[in-house]
Amino acid sequence: MKWETQQKAHHMFRTIIGTALRPLVKVKVEGEKYIPSKGIPFIVASNHIAGIDPFILAIFLGLPPYERYVYFGAKKELWHLRWYLGGPILGWLLSLAGQVQVDRSGLKANKSLDGANRVLTRGEAFGIYPEGSRSPDGKLYKGKTGVARIGFATPEGIWVLPSAISGSQFVKPWRVTTVTLRFGEMIFIPHDSVPTHDQMRAETRLIMESIQELSGQETIDAYIKSRHEH
């Protein structure tokens, strides 16, 4: 899908989902002053407690006066499921929703930077959940180094907007739920073509500490286990 086409489709999809959510979700916002002006590229890094999180975050940041497109990374396998599992349709819907294919496998992991870079070089926002997956119990798990990896690879460095969402796990189709979005002071990751592991972990730790301060979640010094590890 071409970029211009994806932008139009993303706007349409966001409008449809936003219209559906408006009667159900009341968004309370703190730290609006930290949201970058239109045209400034940035990464928004947030906790992840419910499947609806990216929709709420993308819809809110897309509203005036911000009008920021937010594109989230999703594993590329979702675009390549067999037809009887809905692969072609799912891939189309993910693209409409502003999802960008990310390859997280082995030596191909660096290719996952390409999608983020395409978004950022166009002055848009790229959304990442540093934990790598939705929290299974509402606690904040150890962050992976994806945000730092993208930041260091960006030619001029990049600003990261820490964010925290709460209440989204209680959203139900039969009642109005208040969801709180909190944004914190931005963190700058400078360009470095060959960052060390210690550098990436230090930046990741700083970002996760900021998210925890915003969310108030209990922290777990371990990564979220993938489904096949349970």
Q: What is the mean pLDDT of residues 115-134?
A: 88
Side chain identity, residue 184: G
In this structure, which CATH number among 3.40.50, 3.20.14, 3.40.1130, 3.40.1760 belongs to the domain 3-224? 3.40.1130
CA 160 to chain centre: 11
Give 180-226 pLDDT, tens digit per residue. 999 999 999 999 989 999 999 999 999 999 999 999 999 999 999 86
- Full-model pTM: 0.85
Sign of CA dihedral 146, 210, 50, 12: negative
32: enclosing H helix or E strand: none
Query: Domain spans of the chain?
Result: 3-224
Report CA dihedral (50, 160, 121, 35) to the nearest 10 degrees.
80
Give 32-66 pLDDT, tens digit per residue. 999 999 889 999 999 999 988 988 888 888 878 88
